[in-house]
Structure 1
Amino acid sequence: MYRPSAYHGALIALCAFAASPTFAQETPTAYLERIEAIDDSGPAIHAVVAVAPQDAPAAKGKARGPLAGRAVLVKDNIETRDMPTTAGSLALKDNATGRDAPLVAKLRSAGAVILGKTNLSEWANFRGEHSSSGWSAIGGQTKNPHALDRSPCGSSSGSGAAVAAGMAWAAIGTETDGSITCPASVMGIVGFKPTVGLVSRTHIVPISASQDTAGPMSTSVADAALILNAIAGSDPADPATAEANRHKPDFTVGLGKVGLKAVRVGVLRRQVGDMPALTTLFDTALTDMKRAGAQVVEIDYKPDERLGEAEFTVLLHEFREGVNAYLAGTPAAIPARDLAGLIAFNKAHAAEELRWYGQETFEQALAATDPAVYAKARADAQRLAGAEGIDALLRKYDVDVLVAPTTSPAWPIDPVLGDHFVDAGAGTLAAVTGYPHLSVPMGAVEGLPVGISFMAGKWDDAKVLRIGAAYERSRSAKLAAPALRNWAQ
């Protein structure tokens, strides 16, 4: 029920948060009150779909560890023992497995309070064409706290919106291609996609064995690094993580001290796009880095047009195999046991599931069964994004990181026609290669946040975080405060 006094108090607290570079840690109770005031009612952001029972030692202030008492929300495609894991789909509304994904277990072990589950673009935005980011049949449409009528991007929409609106200390998102970094960019927070294989994917609803990873979403690079310390590491159940323990330093070391002096920053100039205000903001970020001692190197890179097609082919094959394996292990009451069953379920519940957009991607994945086609697409994608992409650019221009705007400012929410992406950013390179990608707020265009991306090579996570934190300290642009109203108002 809407309570004006609670909403007013939450808005005052949010304004105080927005004026500060970091969000002071609060009690789980305070976060739950803010969720009730601005997520369940008031502006009704629809970021949180479930609240966990708060009876664990961490919630009572008795936890110990590097994340002791810190409230963390988890995207609703990641299993937790105390809440269903739905991926936003009515087919999985009763998917209560009673188990924690290893990354959730690690958060709890580090003392974190798992506050609840966040909404997402249904099936992590891998179901059909013309979807609206942040919509799911389970959670409805998540809104952008900076402009309620503008997209939160996706698919980690709820995680990003919750952090931006001060409903948790931090959140966990997942990314296949842009699903952490894009919401972080358009909602003015930090989002980090680690090297694929640094964080376990066990008990996470899959899209791609070669590109999926979970990662932190927070209000500072330091907080993202602190979370990464907790969740990184090898998992015997996830072969991709076999080398993780060998590439797991303390990611917080040097974040507050290491600067940009002599750091060589490669600017992906073509990937800035053609929006003048965005270009100006990005050039201000480059000036800030130069002032801090960085050497800025202009790069003229034109990606091969075949990359997108190769990536999509890979995702279709890996999704079919991954989701079939996942559904086979769900509780017996789940009505869909494989991808064909999901397609049938959606047709049977078309009024709820298919009103706004279809399931063309599901149907294409069901037919993607030729191993030779998959093998060629996988080899092509890795070559174009890696050997002829990030790896080649880092080597040719002798740079430490590649930078570009993460994406454009947020576009209007449009469930009828779907998302309206503007051509800016280069995150697909890091997504396909599985390399680290950090988005840090760099300012706003007409009050709409935009992030700057930092990308580097495999296992360069610590370096990317250090450079991103150094930029964060040097940033001169003013960050926008979440307005909790429509942009046009």
Structure 2
Amino acid sequence: MSGLNELTIAEARDALRKGEATSVDLTMACMTAMDAASALNAFVHPTPEIALEQARAADARIQAGEAPAMCGIPLGIKDLFCTKGVPSQAASAILEGFKPEYESTVTSRLFGAGAVMLGKLNMDEFAMGSSNETSTYGNAVNPWRRGNDATPLTPGGSSGGSAAAVAADLCLAATGTDTGGSIRQPAAFTGIVGLKPTYGRVSRWGIIAFASSLDQAGPMTKTVRDAAIMLQAMAGEDPKDSTSAEIPVPDFEAALTGDIRGKKIGIPKEYRMEGMPSEIEALWHQGAEMLSDAGAEIVDISLPHTKYALPAYYVIAPAEASSNLARYDGVRYGHRARLAQGDGITEMYEKTRAEGFGKEVQRRVMIGTYVLSAGFYDAYYNRARKVRALIKKDFEDVFAQGIDAILTPATPSSAFGLGEMADADPVAMYLNDVFTVTVNLAGLPGIAVPTGVDQKGLPLGLQLIGRPWAEADLLNHAHVLERSAGFVSKPAKWW
């Protein structure tokens, strides 16, 4: 078989079971593609020895006849997941040289299911960013281009390396994390599927924390079916994570019936943003028509507190970040600044953090520390928490009216050029999360599905938001949308 790295998880699983390919074949094909794609800067810590060892073990397991669906599938792992004995830096200079002595629950489950780790993937530093331009490893680059324009484009963030690697067929799928849209926005920018599960569906243990009440890991894949297969392996209760839910994990792939007759799809009027490109407005309308043609009922709904979501998010997330990042002090692990004679522990903390944290992380830590400070705690942080409760209630009220899923745009634009926004107003960059942050604030599942291309030939995605713990239904709705849209475009290879 040729083009093994281009297979989906489902196709590779079938090929492995039929003996048409081995996991070693798949892994070698991906590693060859990785070697040829240095221009994308997606993989930052390749692990070829581990990959081949895992692939050989997977082949033995498949031959024995008792292999789970993910067995033998080569994956990329976002640098936010701790992987035993492998650099896990969260793309930050402050964690340089850190090799954990433990494995995150998600990677443990994936490796337990027989998946193969090709290496660690680029990302925004500590997952703070929407364009993968805050990484200590340098920018990850989108494999897509605007026609014949050679301007390098962002793959989105923070899971930019994951998105670029999957879109360029360097791996069959990748792990991502989503705090305010960091799976769904890069998925939309690169023409792949990105699923953020319900908060608590997937364990956060061993994932380097950004904002603990918002972070959630999920799969980034080539198809909705692949997302269902991979989520099955990742999900489940974990005694090490008190926020993981004791809820059974259904068979997500079996839920992909393609039947959504009688289902109610909500279209929130508040998501019709001023200045939204006409192409995204048109795509949104087409997506609603596709679901309607499949038998769903399209219902106009209101989520009245949507306009407060971004301000609330950019108070709560930096507040939690400032608390979580206080542990990085240069004492136990990671970078420690060189001190001058007479410097004490205070100077060591100050110099280490000044050298170790990038500008965007410093900005968010300072915002977070400010909103948590004694004089401003009630004015900012407590008020943002109250707004969060109102946003959550908006969704609860809509679902109580019988709405099964909500359809919105995934992003306010297609991928933009690297450097086009990062050095301008940071608030303009934060607006990239306008359609995604509500989902994290409410703890709901959301999925980005590629559904079209803009005039420049760049992919555009739509987002479906589901009821809590209803990933199975959400995936089925996404499956119908994916099938109706028929998106099969791939980036023209230039790297």
CA distance in 1, matches of 2:231, 2:418: 32
- Deviation of 1:278 (Å): 1.7
Residue 259 of structure 1 is matched in structure 2 by 259
- Match status 1:59 vs 2:51: no
Residue 403 of structure 2 is matched in structure 1 by 399
- Deviation of 1:80 (Å): 0.4
- Deviation of 1:393 (Å): 2.4
After TM superposition, list the pairs within 5 Å mapping 1:345-384 onto structure 2: 345=352, 347-348=354-355, 353-354=358-359, 359-367=362-370, 368-370=372-374, 376-377=382-383, 379-384=385-390
Distance 1:369 1:424, change over 3 A: closer
Residue 138 of structure 1 is matched in structure 2 by 136
Out of 384, 407, 414, the residue aligned to residue 409 of structure 1 is 414
Q: Does structure 1 conserve the Cα–Cα contact (< 8 Å) formed by 2:187 and 2:448? A: yes
Q: Which string of whole-angstrom CA distances, capped at 9 and with x for unpartnered residues, describes residues 132-187 of structure 1?
A: 71124432111111126222110000001100000111000001000000000110
Q: Does structure 1 conserve the Cα–Cα contact (< 8 Å) formed by 2:122 and 2:135? A: no
- Match status 1:223 vs 2:226: yes
Out of 435, 438, 456, the residue aligned to residue 444 of structure 2 is 435
Distance 1:291 1:317, change over 3 A: same
Distance 1:365 1:162, change over 3 A: same
Gaps of at least 5 residues in structure 2 are: 14-24, 62-66, 146-150, 338-344
CA distance in 2, matches of 1:293, 1:363: 50
Paired residues in the alignment total: 452
Q: Does structure 1 conserve the Cα–Cα contact (< 8 Å) formed by 2:270 and 2:307? A: no
Residue 455 of structure 1 is matched in structure 2 by 465
Distance 1:209 1:84, change over 3 A: same
- Deviation of 1:394 (Å): 2.5
Distance 1:301 1:456, change over 3 A: same
Instruction: Letter of the 2:417 partner, please give it.
Output: P
- Deviation of 1:224 (Å): 0.9
CA distance in 2, matches of 1:349, 1:258: 49
- Deviation of 1:372 (Å): 5.2
Instruction: Letter of the 2:452 partner, please give it.
Output: G
Q: Which string of whole-angstrom CA distances, capped at 9 and with x for unpartnered residues, describes residues 48-74 of structure 1?
A: 101114346432233433211101111
- Match status 1:232 vs 2:235: yes
279-288 or 436-445, which moves further after superposition? 279-288
Q: Does structure 2 conserve the Cα–Cα contact (< 8 Å) formed by 1:272 and 1:425? A: no
- Deviation of 1:92 (Å): 0.7
Distance 1:349 1:211, change over 3 A: closer
Gaps of at least 5 residues in structure 1 are: 1-11, 127-131
CA distance in 1, matches of 2:346, 2:234: 30
**Equivalent position SS for 1:82:** coil
Q: Does structure 2 conserve the Cα–Cα contact (< 8 Å) formed by 1:199 and 1:234? A: yes
Residue 287 of structure 1 is matched in structure 2 by 289
CA distance in 2, matches of 1:90, 1:32: 26
Q: Does structure 1 conserve the Cα–Cα contact (< 8 Å) formed by 2:303 and 2:391? A: no
Distance 1:253 1:328, change over 3 A: farther
- Deviation of 1:430 (Å): 0.8
Residue 173 of structure 2 is matched in structure 1 by 170
Instruction: Letter of the 1:252 partner, please give it.
Output: E
Over the residues paired in the alignment, what is the CA RMSD in angstroms?
3.0
65-74 or 48-57, which moves further after superposition? 48-57
- Match status 1:465 vs 2:466: no
- Match status 1:97 vs 2:96: no
Q: Does structure 2 conserve the Cα–Cα contact (< 8 Å) formed by 1:194 and 1:461? A: yes
- Deviation of 1:304 (Å): 4.8
Out of 152, 158, 161, the residue aligned to residue 158 of structure 1 is 161
CA distance in 1, matches of 2:6, 2:265: 31
Q: Does structure 2 conserve the Cα–Cα contact (< 8 Å) formed by 1:233 and 1:248? A: yes
After TM superposition, list the pairs within 5 Å mapping 1:68-147 onto structure 2: 68-125=71-128, 133-147=131-145
Distance 1:212 1:349, change over 3 A: closer
- Match status 1:192 vs 2:203: no
TM-score, normalization by structure 1: 0.84
339-348 or 186-195, which moves further after superposition? 339-348
Q: Which string of whole-angstrom CA distances, capped at 9 and with x for unpartnered residues, describes residues 15-72 of structure 1?
A: x949x9987576111101101112x2xxx01111011143464322334332111011
- Deviation of 1:215 (Å): 0.4
CA distance in 1, matches of 2:31, 2:79: 17
Identity %: 27
CA distance in 2, matches of 1:249, 1:33: 36
Q: Does structure 2 conserve the Cα–Cα contact (< 8 Å) formed by 1:290 and 1:296? A: yes
- Deviation of 1:254 (Å): 2.4
After TM superposition, list the pairs within 5 Å mapping 1:8-19 onto structure 2: 13=3, 17=6
Distance 1:191 1:222, change over 3 A: same
Distance 1:310 1:187, change over 3 A: same
Q: Does structure 2 conserve the Cα–Cα contact (< 8 Å) formed by 1:386 and 1:433? A: yes
Q: Does structure 1 conserve the Cα–Cα contact (< 8 Å) formed by 2:45 and 2:119? A: yes
- Deviation of 1:423 (Å): 6.8
- Match status 1:28 vs 2:32: no
Q: Which string of whole-angstrom CA distances, capped at 9 and with x for unpartnered residues, describes residues 369-404 of structure 1?
A: 4465677245413322211x21122234x3110111
Instruction: Letter of the 2:403 partner, please give it.
Output: V
CA distance in 2, matches of 1:302, 1:374: 20
Distance 1:340 1:291, change over 3 A: farther
**Equivalent position SS for 2:40:** coil
- Deviation of 1:425 (Å): 5.7
